[in-house]
Every structure is written in C-alpha cells, then in structure tokens.
Amino acid sequence: MPRIVVVGSVSIDEVVTLRQPLRAGAHLDGRERGRRVGGGAANTAIPLAFAGHAVTVVSAVGTDPGGSTILERLSEAGVDPAQVVRRAGSSTRSLVVVEPGGERTVVSLHRCREEGPPRRLRTLPADVIYVRSRDLDLASILAGRLDSALVVAHVPPSGPAVRPAHVLVASAADLADDERLAPWETGRRAAGEPLRWVVVTRGSGGAEAHAADRRFHVPARDVETVDSTGAGDVFAAGLLHALASGAPMESALATAVAWGTCAVECGGIPPRERILALA
C-alpha cells in the first residue's frame, strides 16, 4: 500500500448557496448549507484514503471545537491525523459561496498556521509527498526528499527554485498570462532539473500534461456542476492515486480528470463508493 503524505490546509467551511449569480454591489438571496471539513489537504487526502492508500496529513488546527471536528473527520475517513499539530486559538475557517451554476467563491475568515516549516516532513516515511501550500519556505525540505519519494507540488508559488519536485500541478486560472503560454518553462524555473511533468487543469476544458518534449490533453466529461469546491484537489488525488500505483502520466491524467469531474458532479468530496468505482 503506497504511503502518501499530503501537506496543506485543513479547515471548517461554512457554505452558502446563492439563488442568483454573484455580482458586485447586488443584494442577493441565499441559504445556509451548514459547515463541512475542507481545505486543500483534506480534500485531497480523504479521497486517497477512500481508495485504500495509507495517507498522512501534515497541517495545523486550533484548540477550538472546529479543530477537534477536523481531526475526527480525517480519522473517520481513514486518514492519519498524527502529524496535524494543534495551536492555541481558532482553526482555519472559510466562507464558501456557491452560485446557481455550481461556481464557488472562497473567502478566508481565519488561517491557522504552524510557526515555521514542518520539519518533520524531512523524515516522515513516504512513497509520495504532495504539497498543496503556498508557503515559500518548503524548498529545502522538498529538495531533501527527491531521492526518497515521488514529490508532487502545487503552484503557485512559481518563483525560481521554490518547488523542487518531480511533478507540478497548477490551475490555469492561477497562472499569469506568460505562465499559461509556457507551462513547462514556468515549471522548470520553479522545480529545477528534477522536474518530469507539469500538469495544468482547465476546469470544464479538462487537463493537459507537459514534458520537455511532449504534451497531451484529456477532455472532461460534460456534467452538471453541482458545486466546484475542491474539484481541483480531488483531481490531484486521482493523479496521485494513479502515479502511486505505477501508472504512466497519460493514464494518470485521465484518472485525475475522471476524479475531478466526479467531484464537480457530486458537489464536493465524492463518497467512498464513487471513489472505489473510479479507483
């Protein structure tokens, strides 16, 4: 069973569904859909655990009831929360606003962070390490793991040498115009010589993978979008699942698109039975 370590945020999301599209200056009607556990690390780790991987999350939560809820949800899903540290105060909280067509807007209300980089990542047993974090101080830690694990990291940040990794994953919406036009060059600048692939997601347009000498594209299945929250994270989970299982990139990209599309269709993290059907 591949051991996968996921680094990133875990949060309590307060979800509101709008009855009209979001627009500036408007007075809109909506309804509360309650609270759920989210954040990039949780949204990626939980589907991986559903698929049968040994998954550990490296993150931080507060000492509030929300922190306890997050840890309980991870454990219930089969994710090891032992590397989630607790810090005095509140856990990360976000307001997620979902429009009628399923598009979401995320407003960060509070962030719970560690005081410094997670140095325990240097020695944690792992076959795959995935970083879903915008922190800039992880470069030396990731560089030290390149020989012992497959390192996959999300960008941005995409500055020089900030993401030593074998595979980079990015949403086209998060890249600057020049970065979208030259994803491989952008990736090489961020990851350096070890880079093998740059994967770019394009929402309903599917995803593409770029290497130094080739590129291929996988379209997304046309489905009704219920809620796009976390779809990119579930896409990453599908990619990690396939790569950890030994699949080549072209096959792994198709798996990732299928998982991300399922998340859009389900309105969040797909249930265990849907993930098992795709795994």
Mean pLDDT of 58-65: 97
Q: Would you say residue 121 has pLDDT above 80?
A: yes
Distance, first Cα to last Cα, the chain: 14
Ordered by where they begin, the domains of the chain are: 3-278 (3.40.1190.20)
Q: What is the pLDDT of residue 102?
A: 78
Residues whose CB falls within 8 Å of the CB of residue 266, separated by 6 or more in sequence, listed in order: 226, 274
- Other CB atoms within a 10 A radius of the CB of residue 245 amount to 15
Interatomic CA distance for residues 233 and 252, integer angstroms: 15
Q: Are strands 104-110 and 197-201 parallel, antiparallel or unpaired?
A: unpaired
Phi and psi based region of residue 86 (left: phi greater than 0; alpha: psi -120 to 50; beta: remaining) = beta
pLDDT at residue 201 is higher than 90 = yes
Closest by CA to 99, choosing from 30, 37, 186, 182, is 30
Rounded to an integer, the average pLDDT of 184-198 is 96
Query: Does residue 227 have a pLDDT over 80?
Result: no
Q: Quick check: 268 pLDDT over 90?
A: no
* Torsions phi, psi for 51 (to 5 deg): -80, -5
Structure confidence at residue 130 (pLDDT): 98
171 pLDDT more than 80: yes
Farthest CA pair distance, the chain:
54
What is the pLDDT, as a whole number, of residue 154? 95
**pLDDT score of 135 more than 90:** no
Q: What is the mean pLDDT of residues 216-231?
A: 85
Average pLDDT score, the chain: 93
Which tokens go with 131? 């970083």
Looking at residue 24, what is its pLDDT? 86
3-state DSSP assignment of residue 18? strand
Rounded mean pLDDT, 211-237 = 89
Half-sphere exposure of 97 (CA within 13 A, CB side): 14
Res 26: pLDDT:
83
pLDDT digits (tens, 9 = 90+) for 21-53: 888 888 888 888 889 999 999 999 999 999 999
pTM assigned to the model: 0.94
